[in-house]
Structure 1
Amino acid sequence: MVARGRISLAEAIRNGEIFYTERLRDYLLSCKKCFRCSSICPSNVDYDLIIQTMLNDLANHIGIWFIPRIIFRVVLTRRWLFNFFLKTASIFQRIIPLKQRGAMRHLPFALMGGRWIPPLAKKPALDKWHSSRTKTNTAKMRVGFFVGCLTNYVYPDIADAVVETLTHLGVEVIVPEEQLCCGIPANSLGDFRTARKLAEINSRVFESENLDYIVTACATCGRALRKDYSRTLNDPCQIFAKKLYDVSEFIEKYLPYTIKPLKTKITYHDPCHLYWGQNISKQPRNILKLSADFHEMDTPERCCGGGGVFNLLHYDLSMKIAEYKAKAIENSKAEAVATGCPGCRLQIEDILATKGSKVSCTHTIQVLRDALLKNP
């Protein structure tokens, strides 16, 4: 269940020594997909490609679990249906008396494992921003915003900060209503057919807008759009991927600003899909150092244990990994921890709530927005 072990399994499959089974699927899905092994491998082994190929082949041989298959192929590819299910869940969340801990709420009907997550948004980010083209006569450029599912349905406050910050810095922000999931959940279980369909739709939607650039505030979406789409669509010159930036990377490269820092003590957690997956670490720190009282935690690049599907299937192990992150955050003496991924924010809020911690979790762009617009 380490990288070398799974590579050995791939070799055994290729040589006909073992076969595709549910046990093999469990070994593959116990990988957090953090990309650290690929990033530090002295031989430049593309471990991610090996694992993804095995997942795709496994799905072809023994299929994809029934419920995920229905969700991927029926729900994810239809925004109206996705909205319907999530809005229905949001209503149930408000009317059913549920046990609470801090600002978190239990969703036993939506997720496995008894975890705690914030309430679903009453109004998704796309519903709020899709028709709001922040066009001005002095706009420097046209920038598309890829929102992502978790930001859209759970953390629309992140989307608010992206649009408000970019608009303040003189950018025309376009939020296409037709955009869909980036495809990572489908890819994680080997559903290449759905992942390709989502990639085709998202590429077409954004390329039709005649954009100068595209930004996202989700490390996982950014890694998928920038790295995976070229492979999924078999197009190494894919226009979509070439225009894509993480929002912190984009601001640091193209948008100079002056700012009065907040007095809040902030630390930073490196999302794996930014740090290892896209080699982005200096840009968010530069923003935080200018925007607040920055305090570095110990080993900030260490994984929080989220990992998407890994967190759903191996929740107890996921939370054991998160224990170290919680201690590092507390030891930093910061009042808040910023990160560049809503998935990491979800995981960190979960572990901090479990610990009864008073440290809040936010996104880097929210800290910048507050320093720019809310700090007199």
Structure 2
Amino acid sequence: MSLKKPEEIFNFTATSDDCIKCGKCIPVCTIHQINPDETTSPRGFIDLLGAYQRGQLELDKNAKDIFESCFLCTNCVDVCPNSLPTDMVIEEVRADIADKYGIAWFKRGFFFLLRHRKIMDFVMKFGFMFKTCALAEDSKGRGLRARFSLPMMKKDRLIPSMMKTSFLNTYPEEIPAPEQKQKNPRVAIFIGCLGNYNYEGIGNGLVEILGKLNIDIFIPKDQLCCGAPAYFTGDVSSVEYMTKKNIEYFESFMDECDAMLIPEATCSAMVKHDWQVFFKNHDMPDWEARAKKVGEKIHMATVWLHDNTNLKEMLEEKGKRFDEVVTYHDPCHARKVQGIYEEPRNLLAPNYPMVEMSDPNRCCGFGGVTMQTEKFHFAEAAGKPKAAMIEETKAHYVSAECSACRVQISESMNNAGVETIFKNPLELIAEALR
């Protein structure tokens, strides 16, 4: 299908005209905090986009560099008195950038793997077998260190570890609850790519928790990536392919499930929010409606567990108290996009001493594939304040329901010499139930 160009659907000029230049977005903007230039501020982005649609700005390499410098953290949207969708317009103009300049070979290769699960399985299995050739296990168990510089990756950079067998290939499709009653709740799991291939404790923890709650589990084996990495990069064809394939697949089983749980903030926000935005901006109302319908049963894992089960009461009755202090980081795609704040904390508090960092809402600086590769110096700069905040808490664990944040925060703590270990809240909750 030939998509309409984003500027034909999304009115950049109207968004630009609605900006009242109040400046409330400036202090909270992640890129402006580390690169204080008016052009790389939310109102700067919006002005440039308006000029671009009016034909007053050429999409040259300088403009490309500016529009690719946004972290898409949505801090600006959160404080804007007019709720201007700065993140959305930048996501859409990146499609134009991709059309004009192409997408780097390593990104194209990555998105190809995300579209083809079996090939990705083989590549990750191969990577696990030969990882010690180029990578070494970090002494803290937080990931792998590069032994030497690789393309787009400097020596000693921390990257996620690799699982011998992916989550989707570890478990059967159906996992009945330990105790079969007349009508057990039944939930599906959408695991996310990092949870599937790198952080095995997330999926294992969720399966363990659901078993303790006597809930039937369905693991849809043909699920693809949610499309977020491609969406934030401007690869429209990959986004369209993965979203449509997933929606068609979800529709085949969603009526038989009470919910689908996603233990990842970015994946959850993409599926519940950005799929609808994508189809709306590209004039596909039928698909927008289908995305909305499947999204009604999709939830962040801790939120559904908090609101629909007696998990909190079980944790309180267990009475297990750990000495290890936990501090919680709010992923941008959880707190700002989905309004999730209290639920994961409420599930951790019965068993772990909790200490808040000075600004748990501050973006960690992950920023997407481009930020983690071609603009990694920005990611490094944005990560330093977050690592310092975590160190101030003296916490043993920092927790967040987002593996993208895990990648970034682990790297930032590694660079700063911070001893704290990152755990998804589901891993900590599962430990409390044992």
Of all paired residues, the percent bearing the same amino acid is: 28
Contact 2:233 2:368 in 1 (8 A): no
Aligned counterparts of 2:382 and 2:275: Cα–Cα separation in 1: 29
1:333 to 1:102, Cα distance in 2 relative to 1, 3 A: closer
Paired residue for 1:120?
Answer: 162
Asked if 1:171 is matched to 2:215, the reply is yes
Paired residue for 1:78?
Answer: 116
Residue 110 (structure 1) shift: 6.8
Paired residue for 1:269?
Answer: 329
Larger C-alpha radius of gyration, 1 or 2? 2
Asked if 1:249 is matched to 2:303, the reply is yes
Paired residue for 2:399?
Answer: 338
1:191 to 1:289, Cα distance in 2 relative to 1, 3 A: same
Residue 189 (structure 1) shift: 1.6
Paired residue for 1:65?
Answer: 104
Alignment of 1:144-155 (within 5 A): 144-155=188-199
Contact 2:77 2:87 in 1 (8 A): yes
Aligned counterparts of 2:326 and 2:404: Cα–Cα separation in 1: 19
Aligned counterparts of 1:140 and 1:90: Cα–Cα separation in 2: 37
Asked if 1:227 is matched to 2:273, the reply is yes
Residue 188 (structure 1) shift: 1.5
1:342 to 1:262, Cα distance in 2 relative to 1, 3 A: farther
Residue 161 (structure 1) shift: 0.6
Asked if 1:306 is matched to 2:366, the reply is yes
Tell me which of 225, 240, 254 is aligned to 1:181. 225
Aligned counterparts of 1:155 and 1:45: Cα–Cα separation in 2: 35
Q: Tell me, what secondary structure is at the counterpart of 1:173? A: strand
Paired residue for 2:263?
Answer: 217
Residue 130 (structure 1) shift: 4.5
Contact 2:326 2:395 in 1 (8 A): yes
Aligned counterparts of 1:99 and 1:218: Cα–Cα separation in 2: 24
Letter in 1 for 2:329: H
Aligned counterparts of 1:296 and 1:261: Cα–Cα separation in 2: 21
Letter in 1 for 2:384: E
Aligned counterparts of 1:7 and 1:146: Cα–Cα separation in 2: 34
Alignment deviations for residues 123-143 of structure 1 (CA, whole Å, 9 cap, x no partner)? 111111253423452363211
Paired residue for 1:93?
Answer: 131
Contact 1:291 1:367 in 2 (8 A): no
Aligned counterparts of 1:154 and 1:221: Cα–Cα separation in 2: 15
Paired residue for 2:248?
Answer: 204
TM-score, normalized by length of structure 1? 0.93
Asked if 1:137 is matched to 2:169, the reply is no
Aligned counterparts of 1:49 and 1:308: Cα–Cα separation in 2: 14
Aligned counterparts of 1:99 and 1:162: Cα–Cα separation in 2: 25
Aligned counterparts of 1:99 and 1:212: Cα–Cα separation in 2: 40
Aligned counterparts of 1:97 and 1:311: Cα–Cα separation in 2: 18
Q: Tell me, what secondary structure is at the counterpart of 2:115? A: coil
Paired residue for 2:15?
Answer: none
Q: Tell me, what secondary structure is at the counterpart of 1:294? A: coil
Q: Tell me, what secondary structure is at the counterpart of 1:293? A: coil
Aligned counterparts of 1:68 and 1:97: Cα–Cα separation in 2: 21
Unaligned ranges ≥5, structure 2 = 1-39
Contact 1:229 1:241 in 2 (8 A): no
Alignment deviations for residues 284-325 of structure 1 (CA, whole Å, 9 cap, x no partner)? 111111231111111111111112222222222212221111
Alignment deviations for residues 155-193 of structure 1 (CA, whole Å, 9 cap, x no partner)? 021111111112211221111111111101111121111
Residue 362 (structure 1) shift: 0.3
Paired residue for 2:33?
Answer: none
Aligned counterparts of 1:37 and 1:236: Cα–Cα separation in 2: 28
Letter in 2 for 1:119: S
The aligned length equals 372
Aligned counterparts of 1:54 and 1:32: Cα–Cα separation in 2: 14
1:27 to 1:180, Cα distance in 2 relative to 1, 3 A: same
The farther-off stretch of 134-143 and 343-352 is: 134-143
Paired residue for 1:293?
Answer: 353
Aligned counterparts of 1:35 and 1:134: Cα–Cα separation in 2: 40
Alignment deviations for residues 239-291 of structure 1 (CA, whole Å, 9 cap, x no partner)? 22111111111011101132224312111111111111111001111111123
TM-score, normalized by length of structure 2? 0.81
Aligned counterparts of 1:93 and 1:267: Cα–Cα separation in 2: 31
Contact 1:38 1:48 in 2 (8 A): yes
Residue 371 (structure 1) shift: 0.9
